[in-house]
Amino acid sequence: MIIPKRAALFLVAAAMFSCKSHPSDTGVLYSGDSFWRVSGGSKAAQHYSRLTQIDTSNVKNLQVAWTYHTGDAEVKYFSQIQCSPIVANGLLYATTPKLRLFAVNAATGEQRWIFDPAGNANSAPGTFGMNNNRGVTYWEDGKDKRILYCAGSDVYEVNALTGDPITTFGDGGKIDLHNDLGRDAKNMYITATSPGIIYKDLYIVGSRVNETADAAPGHVRAYDVRTGQLKWIFHTIPYPGELGYDTWEDPKAYLHIGSANSWSGFSMDEKRGILFVPTGSAVYDFYGGKRKGSNLFANCVVALDAATGKRIWHYQVIHHDLWDKDLPTAPVLVTIKHDGKMVDAVAQPTKHGFIFVLDRLTGKPLFPVTETPVPTNSELAGEKPWPTQPIPTLPVPFARQTLTDKDINPYLSADSKAEVLQRLKGYRYGSMFLPPGKKPSVIFPGFDGGAEWGGPAYDPSTGIMYINANEMAWVMSMIESQSNANVPKNEDFAQAGERLFLANCMTCHGRNREGSGNYPSLISIEKKYKNSQIDSLLQNGRRMMPSFKQLSTQDRQAIISFITQNKTSGKTAFVPEHKNVDPYQDIPYEMAGYNKFLSKEGYPAISPPWGTLNAVDLNTGKMVWRIPLGNDPAFAQPGRPNTGTENYGGPVVTAGGLLFIAATKDGKIRAFNKRDGKLLWEATLPAAGFATPAVYDIASKEYLVIACGGGKLKTQSGDSYVAFALGK
């Protein structure tokens, strides 16, 4: 359907009126042919489009409009694309599995240019695979138009029309995120997976850092978008004299403790000049004996003056986090009807299934929040769990938060179900705030949510938030670590390699190299990689794997000897190197691995749904509807309800009455009626779409585009972006 010019003018006028009547739309950019200049649709992080050409009556007629192949997927090594594209100047901007930045015609998918951080623009496919990328950032001043994004530890800036690097930015066109942190971080892992955000001529960026004790600090920084010069920094781990410094019992914590980083992106009230920053836990994630206290500004929503970085308010959603409950997505700017009046607020979803609705100007909760006593009986020496945690009375949780022996997967065989129940008897469960210990505990909601980095969608015309959730239980246990300060004598390389593997690699790859959670098995890795390639991975990292530059050559060789089970080099004597070990990084316990609670066949041990899509009315705090999201092929049978699947990537809601989402491991993209959750359309993608879609208009035609990168949840990797539009 082509919108007549007169009707188009009416829609523009209606949109202008709607913007004035909904202050939560601050930061939404609508200009020319572009309705999606910011990753997620707007700086308000609403994932909302006012476009109405595609609606509930015609969505069934969607067809593939174009497909763009990046040509650099690594199927053998499970590459991914998690990028939500942006659209400006008639061009769509996004990244490839190897972190090349590209621009294509947004109406046809024809490539305009490509920038390779590993070489020159328009060169052959690059070699970067050092982190996932979830979006890029656009800036213009009317004439000058630029794109900024992160590959490895560097933020690059390029000309948005040509793809040429802006060599006057930073050091020859890039800035190194290792710099400007206030302490030596050159050998620490640091990158940025989520896009930065623009305020006037400032580029504001967060970071992803290690989750081990040797992590870099997660301070938030703002740079001059033209020159790359640092303009301000906000210390997420406060310095002496700063607010929050006394929430760390050790006065030297700021010199040693890392993380408390904002890896999941920002939102902004641009008219008021307020930046909203979600932060993660401080390290070590699962043992807090080296960081006693409530640990501000970890696990907080922080409101900052976007021009100066000065704190306006903060709200902490987890005190002294021991469960890796990072805030997984930017808070959404909303305007809701509360106590009879319209109130500007921010809504922050969490991994443990809550939505905190906070007054946008003060940070005060709009619904009552109770500081609730939680278990504190830790069996780990030196640990001091916080005695209470904040529990909102409303909105209602959007994910299950309790687990009993009645919640076992009903589709398992009797034998398998009995085995699961027997194992459950040996676990601790019943509270999501059980302190980690040597006896395994069930983590539910799991390490991956509840909410994840895809983020929710919000409809400003109704006040309803749409959020997808993971509902997978995990099992956590702690073991005593090999002290870095007491290296055993007379080790050979295999023995030293095992010790170093347990200290650095076990959490992700399992105690016996068997893999855990979303992390691969290392058994028989020597059949896939040469030793030199493994050494390169250890030094540089790759996607979810951080770098281990702090390890010496000998340490890396020992780890390689252990994981490849090289019995020849394993017998070589290992000569310990004298190291000055930071006592803050000498953690007495390690988490034994990210292990999902599965049956012996590898199926979810708990009952479905294992992924859901939820509509929550933020005006009342009540659930509007809730459905399983996706269907696991292993349990798909005629007449059986969808099981839902684990999901990564968020939804988009439109004024046309639709909710679009991919995210599931069954490789489909779907459209639901936003009013009742009824499925209206679905299409099978060339690879699973673990990303958030973009919706935009070019020449009066509405498009829906999704990155099809696969690679998670044991799905096949892909290299394409697929755009849909109505057929002729």
Task: Say which CATH number the domain at 557 has.
Answer: 1.10.760.10
Place of tokens 């901007």: 93
Domain assignment present for 594? no
Question: Which ranges of the chain have pLDDT less than 50?
Answer: 1-34, 120-128
CA-CA distance, 581 to 503, in Å (whole number)?
14
Domain final residue, candidates 549, 580, 611: 580
Do 297 and 422 lie in one domain? The reply is yes
Do 405 and 510 lie in one domain? The reply is no
Do 245 and 374 lie in one domain? The reply is yes
Domain assignment present for 16? no
Cβ(314)–Cβ(303) below 8 Å: yes
How many beta carbons lie within 10 A of that of residue 403, not counting itself?
Answer: 23
Letter string b/e over residues 634-651, b meaning 16 or more CB atoms within 10 A of that residue's CB: ebeeeeeebbbbbbbbbb
Do 185 and 229 lie in one domain? The reply is yes
Spatial CA neighbour of 550 closest among 178, 236, 218 = 178
CA-CA distance, 543 to 541, in Å (whole number)?
7
The percent helix, strand, coil of the chain (3-state, each to 5) is 15, 30, 55
**Per-residue model confidence (pLDDT) at position 505:** 78
Do 426 and 566 lie in one domain? The reply is no
Token couple for 529: 């990689």
**Per-residue model confidence (pLDDT) at position 22:** 36
Do 466 and 534 lie in one domain? The reply is no
Domain assignment present for 68? yes
Amino acid, single-letter form, for residue 300: C
CA-CA distance, 134 to 152, in Å (whole number)?
13
Do 572 and 711 lie in one domain? The reply is no
Do 573 and 626 lie in one domain? The reply is no
Domain assignment present for 230? yes
Domain final residue, candidates 530, 545, 580: 580
Q: Residue 46 — left, alpha, or beta (φ > 0 → left; ψ -120 to 50 → alpha)?
A: alpha
CA-CA distance, 476 to 434, in Å (whole number)?
11
CA-CA distance, 719 to 523, in Å (whole number)?
27
**Beta pairing class for 145-151 and 154-159:** antiparallel
Domain assignment present for 364? yes
CA-CA distance, 280 to 270, in Å (whole number)?
24
Domain coverage including residue 58: 48-476+600-726
Do 209 and 150 lie in one domain? The reply is yes
CA-CA distance, 669 to 706, in Å (whole number)?
8
Do 570 and 624 lie in one domain? The reply is no
19 membership: H or E segment, kind and range: helix 5-21
**430 upstream amide cis, omega within 30 of 0:** no
pTM attached to this predicted model: 0.89
Helix (H, G, I), strand (E, B) or coil at 264: coil
CA-CA distance, 699 to 439, in Å (whole number)?
61
**Beta pairing class for 694-698 and 701-708:** antiparallel
The total number of structural domains in the chain stands at 2
**297 upstream amide cis, omega within 30 of 0:** yes
Do 523 and 648 lie in one domain? The reply is no
**Per-residue model confidence (pLDDT) at position 516:** 64
Domain assignment present for 591? no
Q: Residue 545 — left, alpha, or beta (φ > 0 → left; ψ -120 to 50 → alpha)?
A: beta
Do 654 and 576 lie in one domain? The reply is no
**Per-residue model confidence (pLDDT) at position 517:** 60
CA-CA distance, 433 to 25, in Å (whole number)?
36
How far apart, in Å, do the first and last CA atoms of the chain sit? 8
Q: How far is CA 206 from CA 69, 119, 200, 297, 363, in A?
A: 29, 25, 17, 14, 21
Spatial CB neighbours of 486, under 8 Å, sequence gap ≥ 6: none
**Per-residue model confidence (pLDDT) at position 101:** 98
CA-CA distance, 576 to 554, in Å (whole number)?
9
Q: Report the side by side order of strands in the sheet with 220-224.
A: 197-199, 202-205, 220-224, 230-234
| CATH number, position 75 | 2.140.10.10
Domain assignment present for 61? yes
533 membership: H or E segment, kind and range: helix 531-540
**Per-residue model confidence (pLDDT) at position 544:** 62
Torsions phi, psi of 277, nearest 5? -115, 120
**Per-residue model confidence (pLDDT) at position 12:** 36
